[in-house]
Amino acid sequence: MRREAEGRVRQLRVLIEQANHDYYVLDNPTIPDAEYDRLFRELQAIEAAYPDLASPDSPTRRVGGRPLAAFAPVRHRVPMLSIRTETDTSEAGAIAFDARVRKELGLTEADPAVEYAAELKFDGLAMSLRYEDGVLVQAATRGDGETGEDVTQNVRTVRTIPLRLASEHPPAVLEVRGEVYMRRADFERYNERQRTLGRPTLVNPRNGAAGSIRQLDPTVAAQRPLSFYCYGIGETTGWNLPATHGEVLDALAGLGLPVCGERAVGPGSATLLAFHRAIAERRDRLPFDIDGVVYKVNRLDLQRQLGFVAREPRWAVAHKYPAQEELTTVEAIEVQVGRTGAITPVARLAPVFVGGVTVTNATLHNEDEVRRKDVRVGDTVIVRRAGDVIPEVVAVVLERRPMKDLVTPAQAPFELPRTCPECGGPVLRIEGEAIARCVNGLGCPAQRKQAIIHYAGRRAMDIEGLGERLVDQLVERGLVHNPADLYDLAEAPLAALERMAEKSAANLVQAIAASRGRELNRFVFALGIRNVGEQTAKDLARHFGRLDALMAADAAALMQVPDVGPVVAESILAFFAEPHNRAVIERLRAAGGWRDGEARPLAGPLTGRTFVLTGTLPNLSREEAKARIEAAGGKVAGSVSKKTDYVVAGADPGSKFARAQELGINTLDESGLLALLEKRE
């Protein structure tokens, strides 16, 4: 029995660790969750029956051990030194680093360019992993660079970290340096679950990662969705060290260690500049936070020649991007009314430069979020802005709250108004929803304005020149009450508006006229039906063909459309059941507001296939490629996931292409896409 148990334990460990690697590293699960759980429980049962078989590299060690009284100190055999930060966040920082390296190496203009490796600077917690004979025996934080803390029990819970290296002949000793981090999607899912359970949430992914690893109770760390990427090595024994840093990372990946695909190797500052630009463009689309990129001299012999200065390597530098989080003060809390009546609290802030722009407003999302974060007027807060994302208040710095013992009325906890600030109508919150809404519909000026702005938007009816300021005047002067009124506007009253003249008024009337007869999908999207976005509008138009057929559909018929479930179906039914909405649609029909098409069968040649487009195609524009895929029944998504069937890559494809390679997803160039379409057609 024992011999059989030993064999089964080895088999189970291989199966479970392979499943962990597929799921957590490759994001490509190969077995169902129920099967994984069954294998795990079987391994636990055998180890319970034969305790001496429970080795340190067993997957069961990931679930956490006994709480620790404190972290034991660990002295790093090779110091974990920090690298210099390039203070110039412009591209000049890369040029300056290359110039310093060439000067230190004594190179002249006649000498060839230095080869560099460029990679991401992760925003997490630096970590050193020590493997002996291929088994993870210790994990330690950086600490002061010389001495860190033993966090082995907690690191065992990070499922992207292998407990045993994937090699039959591993190095006798291999210290791997890297970063524990938390993916944004995992961070959001964790916080959503915590909110549902009424428990504290994490402030941001970086704090979430650092705080999880430094939990004295490993079972708490095991509940946190952490990940890991390695970016270097420390002490090694019995390992044939490669000649370059890039080859080191390739070798680590070959041992089953997670290595980020977002890296580049090439000559001179041109390589660094290209990498810096490329990552800056897609920084906000990365699945995790970074605060910069790192440049390293690629050849290890040149690294040794360059050496260190003031405990920092001369051969590496961190080139940061502008900060995405800053501190500022809340000057007021107001509420805004959206197109669907949603009441959104907004913090008015002391101006602060963050994420490349000056921010004066930040969303507080909803009433529950304001109360959970306890944001008050006068508070010092952490504000985050990433790219085009709306700035938000991440957390309050309670230590800086003024007059903690004497709260003025202005500093009292936030209370959502019970009447709409725009129209005085009632504000209600439906049970189960986080958002409170003004229920006055188009009787509310704010909702009228937003509905008209949405109707005229570029992806909807595309009425050029009908901007927010002009809509404000049209609504406030009673010229427009709903989208149908736009088609009755004449040049004379428009020319009398502020910042308008005869020419601009004539142009606007022409632009409104040009919007007549738009495709059905754009018209459906323009109506502003709650929960119906651009893609759903396309699916509805493709399925029903005619607006009358869509308006007559019941819930069962609506839910035959891809990605339309009970919630979306109920929103559509409620919209068309409203007499006012039907009256406006009839006026739009009379104005020639849309053109019907033909219903297409659900089973198109590419139905069920999901595509992602990346890079620049040589002949097709992104919109043309998307239209042809959708015409064949396929779906075009914005990001790569395990549900993606094909990634169509052109020039400069970026991270989506790298992600597709990591997941083993089929990739096509333009000719491959055309061949697939022709074959299907």
The dotted CATH code for 325-411 is 2.40.50.140
Q: Mind listing the pLDDT tens digit for each residue in 520-539?
A: 999 999 999 988 988 899 88
pLDDT at residue 603, rounded to an integer? 56
Q: Torsions phi, psi of 15, nearest 5? A: -65, -45
pLDDT at residue 295, rounded to an integer? 96
Q: Mind listing the pLDDT tens digit for each residue in 45-55?
A: 888 788 888 77
Q: Which residue(s) pair with 466 in the sheet?
A: none
* Predicted confidence (pLDDT) at residue 154 exceeds the cutoff of 70: yes
* Predicted confidence (pLDDT) at residue 293 exceeds the cutoff of 90: yes
pLDDT at residue 163, rounded to an integer? 92
Distance separating alpha carbons of residues 643 and 650, to the nearest angstrom: 21
Distance separating alpha carbons of residues 233 and 177, to the nearest angstrom: 5
Which strand (E) or helix (H) includes residue 201?
none
The mean-pLDDT minimum among 430-439, 459-468, 469-478 falls in 430-439
* Predicted confidence (pLDDT) at residue 655 exceeds the cutoff of 80: no
Distance separating alpha carbons of residues 341 and 421, to the nearest angstrom: 11
Cβ contact 644:637 at 8 Å? yes
> What's the CATH class of domain 610-680?
alpha beta
Which strand (E) or helix (H) includes residue 498?
none
pLDDT at residue 15, rounded to an integer? 83
List, in sequence order, every beta strand (DSSP E) within 589-662.
594-595, 610-614, 635-637, 646-649
- Mean pLDDT, residues 497-506 taken together: 90
Under CATH, which architecture does the 441-514 domain have?
A: Orthogonal Bundle (1.10)
The mean-pLDDT minimum among 19-23, 92-96, 234-238, 331-335 falls in 19-23
Distance separating alpha carbons of residues 91 and 63, to the nearest angstrom: 44
Over the chain, what is the mean pLDDT?
Answer: 86
pLDDT at residue 487, rounded to an integer? 96
Angle, CA of 228, 230 and 236, to the nearest 5°: 130
Q: Report residue 408's pLDDT band, with 50, 70 and 90 as the boundaries.
A: low
The dotted CATH code for 85-320 is 3.30.470.30
Distance separating alpha carbons of residues 165 and 181, to the nearest angstrom: 21
pLDDT at residue 64, rounded to an integer? 45
* Predicted confidence (pLDDT) at residue 204 exceeds the cutoff of 80: no
- Mean pLDDT, residues 97-120 taken together: 94
* Predicted confidence (pLDDT) at residue 375 exceeds the cutoff of 80: yes
As a whole number of Å, the CA-based R_g of the chain is 29
Cβ contact 395:382 at 8 Å? yes
Query: Could you give the residue ranges of the DSSP H alpha helices within 394-519?
Result: 445-455, 468-476, 491-495, 502-514
Query: Could you give the residue ranges of the DSSP H alpha helices within 132-234?
Result: 152-155, 184-196, 205-213, 218-222
Asked if the domains at 85-320 and 610-680 fall in one CATH topology, the answer is no
Angle, CA of 666, 671 and 675, to the nearest 5°: 80
Distance separating alpha carbons of residues 129 and 140, to the nearest angstrom: 7
* Predicted confidence (pLDDT) at residue 3 exceeds the cutoff of 90: no
The model's pTM is 0.53
- Mean pLDDT, residues 229-244 taken together: 95
Q: Report residue 601's pLDDT band, with 50, 70 and 90 as the boundaries.
A: low
- Mean pLDDT, residues 224-234 taken together: 93
- Mean pLDDT, residues 68-88 taken together: 80
Q: Mind listing the pLDDT tens digit for each residue in 413-435?
A: 888 899 999 888 888 887 777 78
- Mean pLDDT, residues 282-286 taken together: 84
- Mean pLDDT, residues 382-407 taken together: 75
Give the list of residues 6+ apart from residue 37 with CB closer than 8 angstroms, or none.
none
Q: Residue 559: which region, alpha, beta or left (left: phi > 0; alpha: psi -120 to 50)?
A: alpha
Which of 19, 9, 27, 15 lies closest to 639, judged by CA?
A: 27
Looking at domain 2-54, what is its CATH homologous superfamily?
Helix hairpin bin (1.10.287.610)
pLDDT at residue 316, rounded to an integer? 95
Task: Give me the active site residues, please.
Answer: 121
- Mean pLDDT, residues 129-145 taken together: 91
Query: Could you give the residue ranges of the DSSP H alpha helices within 457-501?
Result: 468-476, 491-495
Give percent above pLDDT 90 in the chain: 42
Q: Which residue do the tokens 């959970």 mark?
A: 372
Q: Report residue 67's pLDDT band, with 50, 70 and 90 as the boundaries.
A: very low
Which strand (E) or helix (H) includes residue 584?
helix 579-590
Give the list of residues 6+ apart from residue 408 with CB closer than 8 angstroms, or none.
none
Q: Mind listing the pLDDT tens digit for each residue in 158-186?
A: 989 999 999 999 999 999 999 999 998 88
Encoded amino acid at 572, one letter = I
| DSSP for 306-336, written as a single string | H-EETTEETTEEEEEPPPSEEEEEEEEEEEE
* Predicted confidence (pLDDT) at residue 396 exceeds the cutoff of 60: yes
- Mean pLDDT, residues 344-352 taken together: 93
Task: Encode 623-669 in three state secondary structure.
Answer: HHHHHHHHHCCCEEECCCCCCCCEEEECECCCHHHHHHHHHCCEEEC
Which of 483, 481, 511, 478 lies closest to 493, judged by CA?
A: 478
* Predicted confidence (pLDDT) at residue 27 exceeds the cutoff of 50: no
Domain boundaries, the chain: 2-54, 85-320, 325-411, 441-514, 518-595, 610-680
Listed as own residue / partner, the contacts of 13-20 with beta carbons closer than 8 Å and 24 or more positions apart are 13/43, 13/57, 13/58, 13/59, 15/39, 16/40, 16/43, 16/59, 17/59, 17/162, 17/163, 17/164, 20/59, 20/159
- Mean pLDDT, residues 615-621 taken together: 84
Angle, CA of 271, 276 and 279, to the nearest 5°: 120
How many C-beta neighbours within 10 Å does residue 169 have?
8
Chain centre distance of CA 283: 10
Q: Report residue 23's pLDDT band, with 50, 70 and 90 as the boundaries.
A: low
pLDDT at residue 466, rounded to an integer? 93
Specify which of 19-33, 222-236, 400-414 reaches the highest per-range mean pLDDT.
222-236
Give percent above pLDDT 70 in the chain: 91
* Predicted confidence (pLDDT) at residue 63 exceeds the cutoff of 60: no
pLDDT at residue 91, rounded to an integer? 75
pLDDT at residue 69, rounded to an integer? 58
- Mean pLDDT, residues 37-64 taken together: 75
> What's the CATH class of domain 518-595?
mainly alpha
Distance separating alpha carbons of residues 674 and 195, to the nearest angstrom: 47
The mean-pLDDT minimum among 142-146, 330-334, 361-365 falls in 142-146
DSSP tally for the chain: helices H, then strands E: 24, 26
Q: Is the dihedral of CA 355, 531, 185, 205 positive or negative?
A: positive
Q: Report residue 233's pLDDT band, with 50, 70 and 90 as the boundaries.
A: very high
- Counting Cα atoms < 13 Å in the Cβ hemisphere of 359 gives 32
Q: Torsions phi, psi of 231, nearest 5? A: -135, 10
